[in-house]
Amino acid sequence: MNTMTAEIIKDISATSFPQPDSPVSSAPENGQLLFIRNVASRRDTQTTSASANLDGGSSQPLVSSATAEPQSYTMTSGEFMQSTPVFAQRSKKNLFFKILCFLVLLLQGGMLDFYLIIFTDLYWCSWIATDLVVISGWGIFFMKNARSKRERACGFHQKSSIFGCNLGEFTFAYLAWLIYVIASTPKVVLVLETSILDLVALKVPFGITGFKITVLLCAPLLYCLINSVIEDPNGATRFHSQGCFLGTCIDILDSFTLVEMLLKNEIPDVYLKYTVISVYFIALGVPVVWLYELTASQMNCRWIWARFFTGLLVNAPLLVVRCFLVFVYKAPVSVFMFKNVLFLGCKSLEMIDQCASLRGARRFSRGRGGNAAQFSHCVSENDMCPHGYVNTLAVNTQS
């Protein structure tokens, strides 16, 4: 009886619970073991990475492929979330300076139109149309510049302009300033060379002082133009543009001091008078050259000579005019004479130094022509920065 009961219990247990040798029971056991191993490996990986971070060692932890992808995705999204406020703040700053550009253009153009229209109705429609053309040109410039920024952000291949320069941070900025100079020059010349200036001094509030302030609005306009297109506030192009802007402002103030003497009829000679007016507008047009240089992809001898000749065309005539005023007409010596001599000497030394450096770099590249060619073929277009410099970090990572 006990034997039969034991056999019945054994049969029931065999049919209810499968044996370890059967394939049905091995699957969950193997799955449980695999799950336990994965959990253990993940814990070991986390422990290893945490200990490596705490110890500050240079060796990287051994991370499995299952944990590598989520970590890289987390870092990328974190960097994007951290950089989004910076981009938003930068775009708001650029938008603020763009609005200031249009306000300064409207203020200066409107004041000059007021001086020209209130005392004579000659060609008053043409002056207003000129302002509309300038504002439209600057609007097109800002749209083209924004499109270039989007292309660089998306990693598109940079096109080339009609002058052979890569579209960089200051794309078409030189054309915008050139349009402004061409439009404002005839207005200022007409006011200075006609009787309108005398009527402005007699009948217009603030008189000659208001006219001087209106003419000198070109300096804040240039400052707003530079800051409206700057992408990196700590980049090399920002400091280069600020240095060029300060030099241009000093040249404009230097020439405008002689324009003030012209307004007071303190320059008796006609040739000196036209020289002063010409040099002022040359100083006003100099930003076209260095804005085009900031758009260019690389430095060459043309930019060095162009920078030297622009400084020569501004400081040399001003020095000659001041020498005539001091030694011929017995005028007091101006402190800007020292500035003219200093800037001419500095521009000459800068040209010699940069030409020598450029020749040395070319000689070095010719001596290592094979390696340079091999290096240039190994670098892809995606590893090139907007101004043509190689992203060495990407190249080292690939190698």
pLDDT at 162 over 80: no
% of the chain beyond a pLDDT of 90:
33
CA distance 61 to 182: 64
- Could you read off the pLDDT of 164-200 as tens digits, one per residue? 344 567 888 999 999 999 999 999 998 888 888 888 8
CA 192 to chain CA centroid, Å, is: 36
The CA-atom distances, in angstroms, between 282 and each of 215, 244, 271 are 14, 15, 16
- In this structure, what DSSP letter does residue 156 have? P
Residue 306: its pLDDT value, please?
83
Q: Is the pTM of this model over 0.85?
A: no
List pLDDT tens digits, range 123-160.
Answer: 777 888 999 999 999 999 999 888 877 776 665 544 44
Higher pLDDT, 288 or 34: 288
Q: What is the pLDDT of residue 55?
A: 45
Question: Which position has the higher pLDDT, 303 or 189?
Answer: 189
Over the chain, what is the mean pLDDT? Answer: 73
Which of 146, 168, 154, 164 is closest to 389 using CA atoms?
168
Quote the percentage of the chain above a pLDDT of 70.
62
Whole-number pLDDT of residue 195: 83
Q: What is the dihedral of CA 66, 71, 73, 79, to 10 degrees?
A: -170
- Residue 295 — very low, low, confident or very high, per pLDDT cuts 50/70/90? confident
Given a cut of 60, whether residue 161 has pLDDT beyond it is no
Tell me the two tokens of residue 76.
Answer: 């990328």
132-137: Cβ within 8 A, 24+ apart: 133/179, 133/183, 134/105, 134/109, 134/179, 134/180, 134/183, 135/102, 135/105, 135/106, 137/175, 137/176, 137/179
CA 326, chain centre distance (Å): 43
3-state secondary structure of 120: coil
Kindly report, residue by residue over 42-72, the tens digit of the pLDDT: 445 444 444 444 444 444 444 434 444 444 4
Alpha carbons 351 and 364: distance in angstroms, whole number: 20
How far apart CA 228 and CA 170 sit, in angstroms, is: 10
Higher pLDDT, 79 or 132: 132
What's the maximum distance between 2 C-alpha atoms anywhere in the chain?
Answer: 145
Range from 95-104, 114-123, 375-384 carrying the lowest mean pLDDT: 375-384
